[in-house]
Structure formats: C-alpha cells, structure tokens
Copies of this chain bind each other. A is one copy, B any other.
Amino acid sequence: MSVLVVGSTALDSIKTPSRENSRLLGGSASHAAVAASFFGPVKLVGIVGEDFPKRYVRLYRRHGIDLEGLQTAPGKTFHWAGEYEVNMNNRRTLTTELGVFETFSPNLPAAYQQTPFVLLANIAPALQHHVLDQMRRPRFVIADTMDLWLNIALPDLLKLLRRIDAFVLNDGEAHQLTKEDNVFAALRKIHKLGPKYVIIKKGSHGSILSGPNGFFLAPAYPLRKVVDPTGAGDTFVGAMTGYLAGARGPLDANLRRAIIHGSVVASFCCEGFGLMRTTRVTHETIDRRVKELEKLVRF
C-alpha cells in the first residue's frame, strides 16, 4: 500500500567540524519520502521555489516518488543553514529563509485523498491538520513533530494528537510535553492525549515503542562515526511508515520490525551529508543491518 508524506521540502546548508555542504536536498518530507520509497509507493506533498534544482526532482523520481502533490511557486525554496558542534550532538541554526514555504497550503490532488498510510512529517501542526481534513478514512496516520511546535503551536498539536494513530517525538520533546523526566512515565501521559502508539526517539540510544501490547525497546544501529545526523529522525519515521505500508498481516504485528527498519535506514542517513548516503541504500544493505541488529540484541 502507498504512503502519503507531507512535510518540508528544503535546501540545507550543513557545516560539520570536518566539512561543509551547501544547498543539499533536505527537509522532513524529502528525508521521509526517500526512506519510505525503499518499501513501496510514496506520494509527496510539499512546496518548492523556482530555484529548486532539477537534479533534486530527478532524485525524487528515481525513487519512484509521486510528485503530483509537489507545488512549485514563484519565489525561493525554503533554505536552512546549520552548524554542528565537535561532538555532533548539538547543532545551531545559522539561517532560516522560509521562502515559498511561508504561504504553503498543502492541498491534496484528488488521487492522494485515499492513500491508506499518512505520514505527517515535521511541519506546523496546522498544516498537518489541513492534510488530515482532506483525507478519506486513512488506515493509519502517524505524525512527527519538533520542539518548535511545542513552543509556538501547542494547542494545534494537542488537537492533532486526538486525530492520529501514532505519534513520534524525541525524549527531550517528551519531557517538554509532559514535564516528566522518566520516559515511561512520560509515555503514559502522552497516550492520555490521544495516540494509541507512541514512539520516543533517543538518538544513538535507540527508541521505545509504547502501545496496547506494551513496550518495545528498539536499539539504534551502532555507528562509530556520524558524518551528518540531519534528517535521521525524518528518515526513521519515513522508513518505519514505508515498511508498515508494505508489510502483510496485522499492523500491530509489524510495528516492531517497522521500527527496526527505521533505525537501520536512519543509520545510513547519518553516514553521509544530507541524502547522499540514504539514496544509495539497497534492500541488501538494509537486510544485512537488520540481521546484524537481531544478533546484537539476542541473549
């Protein structure tokens, strides 16, 4: 089954202690859509400016991504520039130029409105709502977010939590949302806000799924070197949703392996700037890391 991905489509200029790359393909929707594309058909909803490089359109197409929902508007593509500190854990934003993104309204083509899996990648909750308003009974809706929306759009986000099946956030955001330091106490509070499934991302410490069948403690794939973690969270949720949409059998039974596939594709994302490494991923390399993870946690 196919996945609809809505989120930001951007150009990222990324500086790390070792290198600098400007105007890479970035944005939550780009990372999530490419990651999901390894498992089945993907429909993208986003907006770019007239300066959006043709090669990035070709990149989307090479991954079989349906671009009917990608709007091109007069003006410039959303541009983000950021710099990572030596330990690659902290980053600071150098520039945010919203460009055409400022007036983005994610209107869905008719052919998108019955997509069974909906991934509301990181974007303003009001836009996530707007997409849901246009969907006809999706089978599974998953939403990602970021601290920014907890700060400036909390009421919208809280309303969204009552409309989705699964919510993905990181441990810092879970703390911010619930005021609970303990992640398991935080999970209980987040479920009360609506979502049946909650996934808390802990970066290199892995992630935790919480749902009606209890917890799943998922490992991160061990990496000795992180080149650029930008988009790893978007990649995680993209691959996870793609896997779920492509898997047979009941959703509940597929969720754990979906999260593992999310971890694995996210590990590739971290090994290159922007989408450079992710785009070269194959089914064989994914399967190999999934099998490695199986061995790494077995006891």
Chain B neighbourhood of A298, CB < 8 A: 256
CA distance A223 to B204 in the complex (A): 20
A51 within 8 A of B: no
How many copies of the shown chain assemble into the complex?
2
Chain B neighbourhood of A222, CB < 8 A: 184, 208, 215, 217
CA distance A181 to B256 in the complex (A): 29
Taking a contact as CB atoms closer than 8 A, the residue among B87, B205, B224 that contacts A184 in the complex is B224
Interface string of A255-279 (1 = CB under 8 A from B): 0110110000000000000000000
A296 within 8 A of B: yes
Chain B neighbourhood of A223, CB < 8 A: 182, 184
Across the interface, do A224 and B296 meet the contact criterion of CB distance under 8 Å? no
Chain B neighbourhood of A214, CB < 8 A: 295-296
Taking a contact as CB atoms closer than 8 A, the residue among B87, B202, B206, B296 that contacts A181 in the complex is B87
A218 within 8 A of B: yes
Instruction: State whether A256 and B299 are in contact (beta carbons under 8 Å apart), knowing that A205-B205, A219-B217 are contacts in the complex.
Output: yes
Chain B neighbourhood of A208, CB < 8 A: 222
A88 within 8 A of B: yes
Q: Is the interface of A mostly helix, strand, loop or mixed?
A: mixed
A137 within 8 A of B: no
Most buried by B among A208, A219, A226: A219
CA distance A222 to B218 in the complex (A): 12
A89 within 8 A of B: yes
Across the interface, do A185 and B218 meet the contact criterion of CB distance under 8 Å? no
Chain B neighbourhood of A256, CB < 8 A: 298-299
Interface string of A77-103 (1 = CB under 8 A from B): 000000000111100000000000000
CA distance A185 to B224 in the complex (A): 5
Taking a contact as CB atoms closer than 8 A, the residue among B215, B217, B260, B299 that contacts A257 in the complex is B299
Across the interface, do B224 and A181 meet the contact criterion of CB distance under 8 Å? no
Interface string of A202-235 (1 = CB under 8 A from B): 1011101000001111110011111000000000
Chain B neighbourhood of A296, CB < 8 A: 214-217
Across the interface, do A218 and B299 meet the contact criterion of CB distance under 8 Å? yes
A24 within 8 A of B: no
A136 within 8 A of B: no
**Whole-angstrom distance from the CB of A159 to the nearest CB of chain B?**
27
Chain B neighbourhood of A295, CB < 8 A: 214
**Whole-angstrom distance from the CB of A26 to the nearest CB of chain B?**
23
Chain B neighbourhood of A88, CB < 8 A: 181
19 residue pairs of the A-B complex, CB under 8 angstroms, read A87-B181, A88-B181, A182-B223, A182-B225, A183-B204, A185-B225, A205-B206, A206-B217, A208-B222, A214-B295, A215-B222, A216-B299, A217-B222, A217-B296, A217-B297, A219-B297, A259-B299, A294-B299, A297-B297
